[in-house]
Chains A and B, each alone.
Chain A
Amino acid sequence: MASKKKRDIRSILLPVSAVLMFIVIWQIAGMFVGNAFIMPSFTDTLSAFINMVTGDGTIAMDLYYSLMHFAMGMTAALIVGICVGAAMGWFYDFNRFINPVIELFRPIPPLAWIPFAIIWFGLSNFAAGFIIFIGAVFPILVNTYTGFRNVPKVFLEAGKVLGCNTNIALIRRIAFPSAYPSIISGIRVAMGVGWMCLVGAEIFGAGSGKYGLGKNLWTYYNLHQMPNVVVYMIILGLIGLLIDILFRHYVNTQMLKWQDDAL
């Protein structure tokens, strides 16, 4: 009992002290360099943050627009990735037909699409969403395909002898649930890639108007307000982490009860 309590305290104490230690070192380094442009210190960053949240609300708008870009890209990637991946996994000939095209497009870095994203969609939210879509669609597609390909034959056969005979029913009731863990881990990777693409896309001007976390990170750099840049970096990191934690929590509690080990 006592030792368990001790371990609980330690499991909080150790990470917290690591963060505190990092902040102290950061602060010392900032003071040592003595130049907020090269090395903004912790206190520089903190006061920049306080100024921002008490300021004109740009940061809230940035957050809103970035999450909107992200949601657009992810939604499109989910729909396209899962549908095409499932069809490739299920229909052998469809895979043979489309696979060469996919393999041709897949290695192109998502940010290389920015010029055409802007030409096709203009400086709009859709252009940023499109870049995130490109980054996120392939992990989802590939994992859906793999999941469908690896459905144990005996599950399909068991389904058939129990009267589950049409393609639609077999896909919906057997193949899809069986491929679920693979699809989920694809989505998780895709969200990481998508979040990274977001910053690049916004920096290069894809996105509308004057808002976006990536966009204004770049604006602050151009204004040489480096503490603000650090605030945006931290926010981007924390939101990426938060998205992953929420997703994992949702998946573990809602969807994959039937698995031995959680995500």
Chain B
Amino acid sequence: MSYLSIKNISKKFNGGEADEVVALDGINLDIADNEFICLVGPSGCGKTTLLRIIAGLETATSGTVVLTDHEITDPDPERGMVFQEYSLFPWMTVSENVAFGLEMKGIDKETRNAKALEYIDLVGLKQFKNSYPHELSGGMRQRVAIARALATDPAVLLMDEPFGALDARTRNTMQRELLAICERTKKTVLFVTHSVDEAVFLSDRVVIMSARPGKIQEIVEINLPRPRDRTAPDFGDLRRHILNMMGEQTS
């Protein structure tokens, strides 16, 4: 039995009208507990839409998403989300932002601040804990958003191009940290990326999507031992295979 089960999900925007968009068409995906899934595919193929449906922020036109025993209908902190766009609360400091989810859980101030600081430290921004988001760079903001999503310790993590704005070095560090956290806290992750290298490095399976209408084109298992070596020959083979698959759909 799978942990997170995406059953026959379709999503139409502006259904029945002239500008109808079929964003997703019959998506089926069974995800195991503690599995790391990367979603890759061309811009506009419905990756964000799929994540939003799983988060409970969008209702599917048909199909269901089942997490363990319950169908997903509404947002819930059991499913954390890192948004593609800028989503930090500008009126809160970095530490207030990160502690917000804990505050909503009713955790007392001292405990949540300590916990928040832990995650701020993890993303390397300890000295900015009292800064406001407008004082941070784009990549730093994105790291705060990641810390905020992790702080509430959700069972499922939905991450929409979270490392897109980071430099190569920070990106590699963040990838390793993320894997360590997921291992330690047993998370199930859906991770959207445009970097095939990142997908092969992180995931247990890479889901390749095709556009208009958004469908699953292929699922590639990554059976490389961890920690992975980006320069290893079989790493390169998998990367090439996925790039070829993605190339096919554009031609």
Contact = CB atoms under 8 A, between A and B. Distances in A.
A19 interface: no
A258 B75 contact: no
A163 B75 CA distance: 8
B75 A161 contact: yes
A162 B147 CA distance: 12
A163 B79 contact: no
Given A177-B89, A258-B132, A164 B83 contact: no
For chain B, what secondary structure do more than half of its interface residues adopt (helix, strand, loop), or is it mixed? loop
Contact of A162 (B74, B85, B101): B101
Interface residues of A, number: 21
A158 B89 CA distance: 9
Most chain-B CB neighbours within 10 Å: which of A163, A169, A180? A163
Contacts of A169: 104
B54 to A, nearest CB: 11
Contact of B83 (A157, A165, A177): A157
Most chain-B CB neighbours within 10 Å: which of A161, A162, A180, A257? A161
Contacts of A165: 74-75
A86 interface: no
B75 A157 contact: yes
A259 B90 CA distance: 8
Contact of B91 (A164, A180, A260): A180
B83 A154 contact: yes
A161 B80 contact: yes
Contacts of B85: 154
B243 to A, nearest CB: 31
Contacts of A174: 89
B89 A163 contact: no
B77 A161 contact: yes
A162 B148 contact: yes
Contacts, number: 67
Size category of the binding interface on chain B: 20 to 34
Given A161-B55, A162-B100, A154 B87 contact: yes
B13 to A, nearest CB: 15
Contacts of A154: 83, 85-87
Contacts of B134: 258-260
A177 B91 contact: yes
Interface string B86-112: 111111100000001100110000000
Contacts of A95: none
A155 B77 contact: no
A258 B90 contact: yes
A160 interface: yes
Given A157-B83, A161-B81, A165-B75, A257 B89 contact: no
Contact of A164 (B55, B81, B104): B104
A164 B152 CA distance: 12
Nearest to B52: A157
B105 A157 contact: no
B57 interface: yes
A178 interface: yes
Contacts of A180: 91
B76 interface: yes
A161 B79 contact: yes
Nearest to A174: B89
Interface of A: 154-155, 157-165, 169, 173-174, 177-178, 180, 257-260
24 contacts: A154-B85, A154-B87, A157-B55, A158-B81, A159-B100, A160-B74, A161-B56, A161-B75, A161-B77, A161-B79, A161-B80, A161-B81, A162-B77, A163-B101, A163-B104, A163-B105, A164-B100, A165-B74, A177-B89, A178-B89, A258-B90, A258-B91, A259-B90, A259-B134
